[in-house]
Structure 1
Amino acid sequence: MSSSPLLRIEDLDIAFRQAGRVTPVVQDLSLSIEPGETLALVGESGSGKSVTALSILRLIRAQTVVYPRGDILFAGQSLLHASEAQLRNIRGNQIAMIFQEPMVSLNPLHNIEKQLAEVLALHRGMGRQAARAEIIQCLDRVGIVHPAARLADFPHQLSGGERQRVMIAMAILTQPQLLIADEPTTALDVSVQAQILSLLQELKQELGMAMLFITHNLRIVRSIADRVAVMHQGRCVESNTRAALFASPQHAYTRKLLQSEPTGSPNPVDPASPVLLRVVDLSVAFPVRRGLLRRTVSNKQVVQQLSFTLRRGESIGLVGESGSGKSTTGLALLRLLNAGGSIEFDGQPLQTFNRKQMLPFRRRIQVVFQDPYSALNPRLSVMQIIAEGLQVHQRLTAEQREQRVIAAMQEVGLDPQSRHRYPTEFSGGQRQRIAIARALILQPELLILDEPTSSLDKSVQAQILDLLRNLQQRHGLSYLFISHDLQVVRSLCHQVIVLQHGKVVEQGECEKLFTQPQHAYTRQLLAFSQSAESEQDSVG
């Protein structure tokens, strides 16, 4: 390795200005990354990981951030004191970043080809035809199936995992010296995670690229990092080589992270419990539009003939790789997408209801979306976001609403004192907890959870799962739990449905499916998951 680090963070303090106050968020941080090295930055949500990454590229609004002390040096050049012209030359060209929330980072008005071609034109001066060939090759490398056919797709036509893969492609197109990856595999199932990590390792070798890899997934850290830095409450509490840190963690917080895994089992369900939701032959197709007039040329079948029943107090896990139709199923059950088949909730045929008839059921069926930043209005405070449903569905005084918000925030592990802050002032994991609080405050009967723990670190993930189990036991809640994390599904769900390319390949009781899988695809998913668990066990 070079004697001179590619990136050096020296005694850095980061603080935010708010209402005349300056609040410290990162203190006395010192890190370095050598050329070709991967440094993993780990810690729970809100520990300062993403703020540190954004500060490297100076992507936080200058009006809101303060750097009271320290410096960030890239190839010997100060980034904190660089001009905008100097930063523009570094951003994208020399340092690229994969952001945590791909739906926010991709432009919803432009198709995938245009967004990726813009990167190549701006940073490598590449023409349209040459760019197209490079884009197709890169999309294929990050696991987009039939990439040439997906170039005209817009971000909303991609699954969460597919959007994340496009973001990875966008970052590596410029062949940067340093890649900052902020939770790049959060939205991906275990099989695609393995592909992406392998790809990043290959690129690192090919390009001599260094990486700052931000994650809460310690299995990934073990497979990709050279060194690890652990952050807790804005400070680096431990830094060491990967082998030394996993073999002999020195700090109590590091030991807690290494020991945190989803545990527990689903609450027992009364066999006499009535059916709350009955779904028969649910099918969803999206029109494929082409040309200047956006004419429909065909239909893409996304979900095909899905049937199941969900009883009161029961949880069903919906699993499968990114793009298999899991999130689409959730949206169809909420009547946010047109779908064929029958959806019967508490004996009522929801598929026949108009918007007005559906309104009373909106309180009884709530959802936690996969991408918390897109789902939260950035112009509203957390208090307003969580209380919004109460204003629509219940007649309460302002004081009563505030007390309900405080109680909901406490239930999901958020400090009620932060209720007057805005979504941008929270970490990704904290934003997900805000979304959960907003759903729970209306005391629904059915909760559709679309990857609700994917952006949470392991310790908080365990807390949220315990919370969901307790709420289910207390209120008889039913859950449709959409996830690619099979450990999480096993700890919460009674039944499992496995989707592949929109079709049900296997469904049944959770324990039976995990111990006696019948379909080859189910066995493949379990093999990846068990491989991850055995790796984690070897460190604990």
Structure 2
Amino acid sequence: MTSPLLAINHLSVAFRRSETLRPVVNDVSLQIHAGETLALVGESGSGKSVTALSVMRLLHTSSVAYPSGEILFEGNDLLHAEERVLRGIRGNQIAMIFQEPMVSLNPLHHVEKQLYEVLSLHRGMRREAARAEIITCLDRVGIRQPASRLNDFPHQLSGGERQRVMIAMALLTQPKLLIADEPTTALDVTVQAQILNLLRELQRELNMGMLFITHNLHIVRQLADNVSVMRHGSVVEHNGCQTLLNQPQHPYTQQLLAAEPEGRALPLASDAPVILQVENLRVAFPLRRGLFKRQVGEKVALHNLSFSLKRGESLGLVGESGSGKSTTGLALLRLIQAQGEIWFDGHPLHHMPRKQLLPLRRRIQVVFQDPNSSLNPRMTVQQIIAEGLAVHRPALSAVQQESQVIAVMEEVGLEAESRHRYPVEFSGGQRQRIAIARALVLEPDLMVLDEPTSSLDRSVQKQILTLLRRLQQQRQLSYLFISHDLDVVRTLCHQLIVLRQGEVIEQGECEKLFAAPGEAYTRELLASAQLSAG
């Protein structure tokens, strides 16, 4: 048996808080050989990402301690390596795809500059040679017309496109070990399948080891050789992939495998009034060129979308990354300019000035796709959730505000005692729950949910879907549910709209479209989802 490429032996990690140490990873041991994939699964906050960040020593030295253990990469102890040695390994021999691309990408630099920096620093390539390789790599990860996207900034890309740029950045250096922290979370099923195939190809070409962190057990079944299950900072079960998934021994592993989305949309009252009416919604962004940035054309992101949504009804919006799903949500919220008519409970949102629109903001809330960029890092969770109450319900006292914050945190499965902590102290899934709590605390009538469960593990996802269904029943909430997870859409939605490159491909009742899709693209999406689930 050859020596492992990466060996984590009895690793414990603790965070410093004042003068105390709070354990977050306890006595974890893992091994990865060249050409092998180890999947690390478990619920949010179980210690998966902390373990991965410890491998590359990316946790801030002033706030972290390693009470025990060692991390050996090709026999070299990374825990005690000098910073100079680590710089030669990070991004070169060990690359990482981070969970939240909007935070990882520099908002001030365009795509080409960020990718060129990797090739220049680690492979010494000149710009012209690098450009050809960058275009090839972007094409391989599924960016359409990659040459035309080189000058785009991160905010001009969809969530899935940003994630694909991050994947390209990690793969450009052809690393010996790839650490992938939820790399397909923001991707639709068709691109997800493409990325998984790409990772398998590169793994064979480079004999690359891979530590794959995910909450999607369908992906684990397709990709992993071995699986380690983490809970509360400890590995509770480790085994070969097929053995663990087919014959789980630990009760928590059995619970994870059983936590698949289930159920169907709630029955809708026949006399339910229409709360949202959209007619011929169109969104176009100006294309500017030259020194003076003159407009030379426009890029149409959404073409003439029309639908109606009743009180207590859920509308699913599906399609691949860049299809216009998030653009639709932003247009309905009047956060970007759009043409067409938007009627909310009889109010013409498309004509209303900002001042008149403000009282309606409380009734229309949003949960954004990337909680790390939508939560203020300088505010505590208490302040984040209570901010809307301060604006829309100023008569509430501080005690009443805190009481409502505690209630909504408990409702979404967060410990109320954690309300004085900052977003950085929470896992990705916990941050998403904070974002959901912030929207719910104002008791809205309509919620725009942009991939609200994409960063959640299956067990928590099931809890959130149950919560959303219960809230819908109790409060007659209406949902615009944007997602690439068709299993989740089917459990919650009454209607379904399939988008592709801003065009409506198919529209109708959710169950009918799942049972008998009329368009080839819808059939392709459903087939990819079934393949992923298989």
Q: Is the 8 A contact 2:98 2:183 kept in 1?
A: yes
Please state whether the residue corresponding to 2:34 is helix, strand or coil: coil
**Cα deviation, residue 355, structure 1:** 1.6
Report the Cα distance in structure 2 between the residues aligned to 1:88 and 1:195, rounded to whole angstroms: 31
Aligned length: 533
What is residue 488 of structure 2 aligned with on the other side?
488
What is residue 80 of structure 2 aligned with on the other side?
81
What is residue 370 of structure 2 aligned with on the other side?
371
> Residues 25-40 of structure 1 correspond to what in structure 2 (within 5 A)?
25-40=24-39
Q: Is the 8 A contact 2:119 2:172 kept in 1?
A: yes
> Residues 433-452 of structure 1 correspond to what in structure 2 (within 5 A)?
433-452=433-452
Report the Cα distance in structure 2 between the residues aligned to 1:290 and 1:249, rounded to whole angstroms: 58
Q: Which moved more, 1:485-494 or 1:287-296?
A: 287-296
Residue 529 of structure 2 is aligned to residue 497 of structure 1: no
What is residue 300 of structure 2 aligned with on the other side?
301
Report the Cα distance in structure 1 between the residues aligned to 2:391 and 2:288, rounded to whole angstroms: 36
What is residue 527 of structure 2 aligned with on the other side?
527
**Cα deviation, residue 292, structure 1:** 4.2
Please state whether the residue corresponding to 2:204 is helix, strand or coil: helix
Report the Cα distance in structure 2 between the residues aligned to 1:197 and 1:293, rounded to whole angstroms: 42
Report the Cα distance in structure 2 between the residues aligned to 1:306 and 1:390, rounded to whole angstroms: 33
What one-letter code is carried by the residue in structure 2 that aligns with 1:380? M
What is residue 221 of structure 1 aligned with on the other side?
220
What is residue 398 of structure 2 aligned with on the other side?
398
What is residue 71 of structure 1 aligned with on the other side?
70
Report the Cα distance in structure 2 between the residues aligned to 1:313 and 1:352, rounded to whole angstroms: 25
What is residue 312 of structure 1 aligned with on the other side?
311
Please state whether the residue corresponding to 2:284 is helix, strand or coil: strand
What one-letter code is carried by the residue in structure 2 that aligns with 1:438? R
Q: Is the 8 A contact 2:5 2:32 kept in 1?
A: yes
**Cα deviation, residue 526, structure 1:** 1.0
CA deviation digits over 1:46-91, x for unaligned, max 9?
1000111111111111111111111111111111111111111010
**Cα deviation, residue 358, structure 1:** 1.3
What one-letter code is carried by the residue in structure 1 that aligns with 2:12? D
What is residue 419 of structure 2 aligned with on the other side?
419
Please state whether the residue corresponding to 2:350 is helix, strand or coil: helix
What is residue 464 of structure 2 aligned with on the other side?
464
Residue 215 of structure 2 is aligned to residue 241 of structure 1: no
Report the Cα distance in structure 1 between the residues aligned to 2:84 and 2:472, rounded to whole angstroms: 54
CA deviation digits over 1:202-229, x for unaligned, max 9?
0001111110000000000010111111
What one-letter code is carried by the residue in structure 2 that aligns with 1:411? E
Report the Cα distance in structure 2 between the residues aligned to 1:295 and 1:118, rounded to whole angstroms: 29
**Cα deviation, residue 295, structure 1:** 3.1
What is residue 159 of structure 2 aligned with on the other side?
160
Q: Is the 8 A contact 2:193 2:532 kept in 1?
A: no
What one-letter code is carried by the residue in structure 2 that aligns with 1:285? A
What one-letter code is carried by the residue in structure 1 that aligns with 2:400? Q
> Residues 17-32 of structure 1 correspond to what in structure 2 (within 5 A)?
17-32=16-31
What is residue 477 of structure 1 aligned with on the other side?
477
Report the Cα distance in structure 2 between the residues aligned to 1:295 and 1:64, rounded to whole angstroms: 48
Q: Which moved more, 1:246-255 or 1:180-189?
A: 246-255
**Cα deviation, residue 431, structure 1:** 0.4
Please state whether the residue corresponding to 2:61 is helix, strand or coil: coil
Please state whether the residue corresponding to 1:28 is helix, strand or coil: strand
What is residue 360 of structure 1 aligned with on the other side?
359
Q: Which runs of 5+ in 2 are unaligned?
A: none
Report the Cα distance in structure 2 between the residues aligned to 1:236 and 1:450, rounded to whole angstroms: 32
What is residue 322 of structure 1 aligned with on the other side?
321
Q: 1:303 to 1:457 in 2, by over 3 A?
A: same
Report the Cα distance in structure 2 between the residues aligned to 1:518 and 1:266, rounded to whole angstroms: 21
**Cα deviation, residue 99, structure 1:** 0.2
What one-letter code is carried by the residue in structure 2 that aligns with 1:256? Q
> Residues 334-345 of structure 1 correspond to what in structure 2 (within 5 A)?
334-345=333-344
What one-letter code is carried by the residue in structure 1 that aligns with 2:407? A
Report the Cα distance in structure 2 between the residues aligned to 1:400 and 1:473, rounded to whole angstroms: 25
Q: Percent identity?
A: 69
What one-letter code is carried by the residue in structure 2 that aligns with 1:461? Q
Report the Cα distance in structure 2 between the residues aligned to 1:54 and 1:308, rounded to whole angstroms: 45
Please state whether the residue corresponding to 2:239 is helix, strand or coil: strand
**Cα deviation, residue 296, structure 1:** 2.5
Report the Cα distance in structure 1 between the residues aligned to 2:146 and 2:390, rounded to whole angstroms: 45
Report the Cα distance in structure 1 between the residues aligned to 2:268 and 2:523, rounded to whole angstroms: 27
Report the Cα distance in structure 2 between the residues aligned to 1:17 and 1:114, rounded to whole angstroms: 36
**Cα deviation, residue 143, structure 1:** 0.5
> Residues 280-295 of structure 1 correspond to what in structure 2 (within 5 A)?
280-295=279-294
Report the Cα distance in structure 2 between the residues aligned to 1:531 and 1:36, rounded to whole angstroms: 24
What one-letter code is carried by the residue in structure 1 that aligns with 2:455? S
Report the Cα distance in structure 2 between the residues aligned to 1:65 and 1:4, rounded to whole angstroms: 29
Report the Cα distance in structure 2 between the residues aligned to 1:361 and 1:113, rounded to whole angstroms: 41
Report the Cα distance in structure 1 between the residues aligned to 2:450 and 2:475, rounded to whole angstroms: 20
Residue 149 of structure 2 is aligned to residue 130 of structure 1: no
What one-letter code is carried by the residue in structure 2 that aligns with 1:23? R
What is residue 175 of structure 2 aligned with on the other side?
176
Report the Cα distance in structure 1 between the residues aligned to 2:180 and 2:239, rounded to whole angstroms: 20
Report the Cα distance in structure 2 between the residues aligned to 1:379 and 1:172, rounded to whole angstroms: 33
Report the Cα distance in structure 1 between the residues aligned to 2:137 and 2:291, rounded to whole angstroms: 26
CA deviation digits over 1:174-209, x for unaligned, max 9?
011000000000000111100000000000011111
CA deviation digits over 1:275-327, x for unaligned, max 9?
10000000001122334443322211000000000011110000001110000
Report the Cα distance in structure 2 between the residues aligned to 1:493 and 1:19, rounded to whole angstroms: 47
CA deviation digits over 1:466-517, x for unaligned, max 9?
0000001101100000001111111000000110110111111111111111
Report the Cα distance in structure 2 between the residues aligned to 1:503 and 1:353, rounded to whole angstroms: 27
What is residue 538 of structure 1 aligned with on the other side?
none
Please state whether the residue corresponding to 2:308 is helix, strand or coil: strand
What is residue 119 of structure 2 aligned with on the other side?
120
Q: Which runs of 5+ in 1 are unaligned?
A: 536-540
Please state whether the residue corresponding to 1:497 is helix, strand or coil: strand
What is residue 48 of structure 1 aligned with on the other side?
47
